């Protein structure tokens, strides 16, 4: 399918045709129509615009038709799908268009009345006994992006097997003529709308994850500054903190405004410290103990913590370890920690978590990158009873406890990190002190992620070439340190499904992992080290990263 097909088609609206006619750059047109957006376990993600490799109503309808075909192949009587969206440009329109396609295919639809956190969608899938869920979001990507994520009946993101079926069906279905749809006015006759009343069911489950509610009462006036970065956490994060008992919550007014252009930040990503500039100013005015930020679809959470009046960024790995230590420590003290307690983390997440679990007698299980794999372990534990899930996290600022949802939840994480801060305050300490205590006990752990960009329509080919080169010419040494062990997850090892991941353990215990991103044109390198001090650990990580990227640069 090419640009001429779209311009000549009666199925394409006039505004889209005008957009394409205005594009004079041949390379850009080629990129817009260089195949389909890849549909994987993370669904679709791409820049907004006209074309088969862009996010628009036609690519959304196309993916939804393939999903509808999968659902209808299951012959499920009275199948339902629930749909949510974030604050991004066109998110509401894309959500409504997905609903129109499902209705046209005889599938019942629940649609939230306005934007909602992605974890609430995950909860709703199982709570409402749906076969699937859809959320329109591009998570923490820049404003130019939007995306389409699919959840299956367990509330976790679509499995690789189901994702392959959907993508195969997309390839067989004409994007313009092969899609069944109805007008939104027609679809509204059968759509069931979920309003703010439904939020109570979700918030009740989040509040159940509190470990010591009395502790919150004692420290209720602890000051917490919160920003949703113009996204869907704007209402429910402050609400859950208030319901939990916190009484001194200050929001960043400019960033409470819902706006898909994210006008006050370069990127709406809680991993980036620069996005917290205004929050830090407000925190200093109020002498706040804690700053919390959530991304546009409110599944990821980042924090800054006070240290003698200065606010220090805490990484996703460090937040996860602070939460893990607080959960295990407090539940053990209260006698509520199961004997078979187990935490789950991804293979690119800090090994400090392993040391923490060993201290409290809990197990830890590693899974592939992506919270869906943590969700799979949660389901497995329920079936086998071998372990009791107590906490799951990934380095990319995703955290969850409890089994009410099967995806990372910033609403939960905001609540529990606030409770952990209250625990520290009760002892006259801060979360920064707690992190320093972990490093003093176990050594200073430092993690660095390097994004090796592969832009352009040949980006996927470059990514494949790099991974092939690393397999054909194995790395034996980096920065003067020998590789002790290489693991290739492509063949499916350690009980995990096949994945395009290479894992290197160095003789000094450091770990390097490289994998192509599933949603963006880049390869990600994870460097995980530890040493006696932060300076030494950072220096070691920088050396490994520099040596590895020199090899990758030469390979492509």
pLDDT tens readout for residues 37-66: 999 888 999 999 999 999 999 999 999 999
pLDDT in tens, 197-222: 999 999 999 999 999 999 999 999 99
Residues 6+ apart with CB under 8 A from 367: 344, 345, 346, 347, 373, 374, 376, 377, 496
**Is the pLDDT reported for residue 495 higher than 90?**
no
More confident residue, 131 or 452: 131
The per-residue DSSP string of 121-178 comes to HHHHHHHTT-SEEEEE--TT--TTEEEEEEEETTSSBPPHHHHHHHHHHHHHS-TTTS
Q: Are residues 160 and 33 in the same domain?
A: yes
pLDDT in tens, 111-130: 999 999 999 999 999 999 99
Domain end point (choices 408, 428, 454)? 408
Q: Are residues 326 and 453 in the same domain?
A: no
Secondary structure, 3-state, 508-524: CCCEEEEEECCCCCEEE
- Is residue 509 one of the residues assigned to a domain? yes
Q: Are residues 100 and 75 in the same domain?
A: yes
Q: Are residues 265 and 289 in the same domain?
A: yes
pLDDT band at 183 (very low <50, low <70, confident <90, very high): very high
The pLDDT of residue 80 is 98
Average pLDDT value for the chain = 95
The pLDDT of residue 401 is 97
pLDDT band at 458 (very low <50, low <70, confident <90, very high): confident
| CA atoms within a 13 Å half-sphere pointing along the CA-CB vector of 21 | 9
C-beta separation of 65 from 105 below 8 A: yes
As a whole number of angstroms, the distance between CA 385 and CA 435 comes to 32
Of the ranges 276-280, 431-435, 454-458, 527-531, which one carries the lowest mean pLDDT score? 454-458
Q: Are residues 276 and 190 in the same domain?
A: no
Backbone angles phi, psi at 381, to 5 degrees: -60, -40
Q: What domain count does the chain have?
A: 4
What's the CATH code of the domain at 296? 3.40.120.10
pLDDT in tens, 144-153: 999 999 999 9
Which domain does 35 fall in, by range? 3-200
Q: Is 258 helix (H, G, I), strand (E, B) or coil?
A: coil
Q: Are residues 11 and 74 in the same domain?
A: yes
Q: Are residues 263 and 332 in the same domain?
A: no
Q: Are residues 301 and 325 in the same domain?
A: no
Of the ranges 250-254, 293-297, 302-306, 490-494, which one carries the lowest mean pLDDT score? 490-494
As a whole number of angstroms, the distance between CA 287 and CA 23 comes to 51
Q: Are residues 231 and 324 in the same domain?
A: no
pLDDT in tens, 331-354: 999 999 999 999 999 999 999 999
pLDDT band at 385 (very low <50, low <70, confident <90, very high): very high
pLDDT in tens, 390-425: 999 999 999 999 999 999 999 999 999 999 999 999
Name the percent of the chain lying above pLDDT 90.
90
**Is the pLDDT reported for residue 453 higher than 90?**
no
As a whole number of angstroms, the distance between CA 388 and CA 403 comes to 10
C-beta separation of 281 from 216 below 8 A: no
- Is residue 279 one of the residues assigned to a domain? yes
**Is the pLDDT reported for residue 477 higher than 90?**
yes
**Is the pLDDT reported for residue 462 higher than 80?**
yes
Q: Are residues 287 and 274 in the same domain?
A: yes
Q: Are residues 321 and 179 in the same domain?
A: no
pLDDT band at 520 (very low <50, low <70, confident <90, very high): confident
Q: Are residues 30 and 143 in the same domain?
A: yes
- Is residue 214 one of the residues assigned to a domain? no
Paired with 306 in beta bridges are 311
- Is residue 437 one of the residues assigned to a domain? no
Q: Among this protein's residues, is 139 annotated catalytic?
A: yes
Average pLDDT over residues 433-455: 94
- Is residue 424 one of the residues assigned to a domain? no
C-beta separation of 406 from 156 below 8 A: yes
- Is residue 54 one of the residues assigned to a domain? yes
User: Could you say which of 122, 139, 396, 499 is catalytic?
Assistant: 139
- Is residue 52 one of the residues assigned to a domain? yes
pLDDT band at 519 (very low <50, low <70, confident <90, very high): low
- The tokens for 411 are 């609403």
């Amino acid at each position: 399918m090419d640009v001429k097909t779209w311009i000549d088609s009666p199925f394409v609206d006039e505004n889209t045709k005008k957009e394409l006619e205005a594009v004079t750059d041949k390379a850009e047109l080629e990129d817009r129509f260089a195949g389909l957006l890849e549909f994987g376990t993370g669904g679709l993600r791409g820049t907004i615009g006209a074309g088969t490799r862009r996010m628009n109503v036609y690519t959304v309808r196309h993916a939804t038709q393939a999903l509808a075909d999968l659902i209808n192949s299951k012959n499920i009587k009275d199948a339902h799908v629930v749909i949510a969206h974030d604050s991004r440009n066109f998110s509401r329109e894309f959500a409504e268009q997905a609903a129109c396609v499902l209705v046209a295919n005889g599938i019942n639809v629940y649609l939230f009345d306005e934007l909602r956190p992605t974890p609430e969608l995950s909860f709703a899938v199982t709570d409402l006994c749906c076969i699937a869920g859809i959320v329109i979001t591009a998570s923490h990507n820049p404003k130019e992006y939007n995306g389409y994520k699919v959840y299956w009946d367990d509330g976790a993101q679509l499995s690789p097997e189901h994702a392959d079926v959907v993508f195969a069906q997309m390839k067989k279905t004409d994007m313009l003529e092969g899609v069944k749809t109805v007008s939104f006015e027609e679809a509204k006759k059968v759509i069931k709308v979920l309003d703010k009343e439904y939020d109570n069911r979700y918030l009740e489950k989040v509040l159940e994850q509190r470990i010591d509610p009395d502790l919150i009462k004692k420290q209720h006036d602890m000051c917490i500054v919160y920003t949703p970065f113009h996204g869907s956490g704007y209402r429910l994060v402050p609400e859950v903190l208030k319901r939990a008992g916190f009484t001194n919550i200050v929001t960043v007014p400019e960033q409470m405004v819902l706006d898909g252009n994210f006008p006050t930040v370069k990127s709406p990503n809680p991993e980036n410290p620069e996005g917290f500039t205004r929050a830090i100013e407000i925190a200093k005015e109020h002498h706040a103990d804690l700053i919390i930020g959530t991304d546009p679809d409110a599944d990821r959470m980042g924090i800054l913590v006070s240290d003698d009046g200065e606010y220090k960024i805490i990484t996703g790995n460090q937040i996860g370890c602070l939460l893990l230590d607080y959960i295990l420590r407090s539940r053990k003290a209260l006698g509520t920690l199961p004997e078979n307690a187990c935490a789950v983390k991804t293979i690119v997440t800090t090994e400090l978590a392993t040391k923490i679990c060993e201290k409290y007698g809990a197990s830890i299980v590693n899974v592939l990158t992506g919270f869906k794999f943590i969700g799979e372990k949660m389901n497995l534990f329920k079936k086998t009873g071998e372990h009791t899930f107590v906490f799951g996290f990934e380095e990319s600022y995703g955290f969850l406890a409890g089994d009410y949802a099967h995806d990372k939840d910033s609403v939960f994480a905001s609540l529990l990190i606030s409770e952990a801060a209250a625990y520290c305050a009760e002892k006259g300490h801060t979360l920064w002190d707690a992190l320093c205590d972990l490093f003093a006990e176990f050594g200073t752990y430092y993690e660095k992620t390097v994004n090796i960009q592969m832009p352009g329509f040949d980006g996927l080919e470059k990514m494949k070439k790099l991974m092939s080169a690393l397999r054909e010419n194995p790395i034996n040494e980096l920065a003067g340190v020998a590789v002790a062990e290489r693991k290739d997850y492509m063949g499916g090892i350690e009980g995990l499904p096949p994945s395009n991941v290479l894992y290197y353990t160095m003789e000094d215990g450091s770990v390097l992992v490289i994998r192509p991103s599933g949603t963006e044109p880049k390869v990600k390198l994870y460097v995980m080290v530890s040493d006696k001090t932060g300076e030494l650990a950072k220096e070691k990580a920088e050396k490994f990263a520099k040596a590895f990227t020199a090899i990758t640069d030469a390979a492509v």
